[in-house]
Amino acid sequence: MSEVILKVENMVTHYGKIAALKGISFEVKQGQIVTLLGSNGAGKSTTLKTISGLMRPTTGTITFYGEDITKLPPHDIVKRGLIQLPEGRRIFKDLTVSENLELGSFSLKDETERKRRMNHVFDRFPILGKRSKQMGGTLSGGEQQMLAIGRGLMAKPRLLLMDEPSMGIAPLVVKDIARIIHQLHMDGISILLVEQNSKMALGLAHYGYVLDTGNIVLEGKSEDLKNDDNVIKAYLGGNKEKQP
């Protein structure tokens, strides 16, 4: 049985007096892609921000490889290999591709290792290598998403938190992003994937949780979720025929 690498237990997170998360619990196992699904305002991004230390839970615990990281600052969480790829990519548009990638390894002191990791990113995304001196803001939406993923890889992640990687991407490019996520998994990286595109997410993930107004209302194997008419109609949108 695969090791549980991320365990969230009874996590409550507030925005002021409003509870955005209302005691959620879930887990990610080694080598899995796990997806969090739900509509806007369900609490998906808040979940990732809380795990990565950008927000503090009011109550509950977050355990990563057996260590309680609930109160750790974000930079210490990053050092442990838990890396978030934010919604909207958030690249530095006035920096070059190479400079954006270097920022992904800010805690690394070994320059030789930094160059090795950057070459690995360029091997994975040849277009970034060709445009290494180009400003990030001049890249297309799909290329910027590749740059954001590459920046995350520079930190040598053990778990990637991916927040809406298909958002703002042309439909034809979404397939490329899905292929990249699949390849990351094949390379041994565990992934917690937040997506509104349930078709893509359930096609990639092993297990899924459905969030609704700060509560986990459903969970199960992806195959079970995407073939359940009631689930699709109530929470994921559309009809079963539209699902992969």
Q: Would you give the end-to-end CA distance of the chain in angstroms?
A: 27
Question: Is residue 181, in this structure, part of any structural domain at all?
Answer: yes
CATH number at residue 80: 3.40.50.300
Question: Is residue 132, in this structure, part of any structural domain at all?
Answer: no
Least confident of 1-5, 78-82, 100-104, 132-136: 1-5
Residue 238: pLDDT band with limits 50, 70, 90: low
- At 82, give phi and psi (nearest 5°): -105, 110
8 burial via Cβ count (<10 Å: 0-12, 13-18, 19+): buried
Question: Is residue 151, in this structure, part of any structural domain at all?
Answer: no
Number of CB atoms found within 10 A of residue 221's CB: 13
% of the chain at pLDDT higher than 70: 93
Q: Mapped to the 3 state alphabet, what secondary structure does 131-156 carry?
A: CCCCEHHHCCHHHHHHHHHHHHHCCC
pLDDT of residue 65: 96
Question: Is residue 133, in this structure, part of any structural domain at all?
Answer: no
Alpha carbon distances (Å) from 131 to 89, 128, 165, 174: 18, 5, 21, 21
Question: Is residue 95, in this structure, part of any structural domain at all?
Answer: no
pLDDT of residue 204: 94
Question: Structural domain of residue 216, as residue ranges?
Answer: 4-90+157-242
Question: Is residue 23, in this structure, part of any structural domain at all?
Answer: yes
Question: Is residue 227, in this structure, part of any structural domain at all?
Answer: yes
Secondary-structure percent of the chain, ordered helix, strand, coil, rounded to 5: 40, 25, 35
pLDDT of residue 1: 62
Question: Is residue 170, in this structure, part of any structural domain at all?
Answer: yes
Domain tally, the chain = 1
* Residues 65 and 82: beta-carbon distance below 8 Å: no
* Residues 5 and 29: beta-carbon distance below 8 Å: yes
Instruction: Please report how the helices 141-153 and 171-186 are oriented relative to each other, as an axis angle in degrees rounded to 10.
Output: 20
Q: Name the pTM for this structure.
A: 0.89
Residue 110: pLDDT band with limits 50, 70, 90: confident
* 124-164 pLDDT, tens digit each: 899 999 999 999 989 988 888 889 999 999 988 999 999 98
Of 157, 226, 155, 224, nearest to 197 (Cα)?
226
Residue 234: pLDDT band with limits 50, 70, 90: low
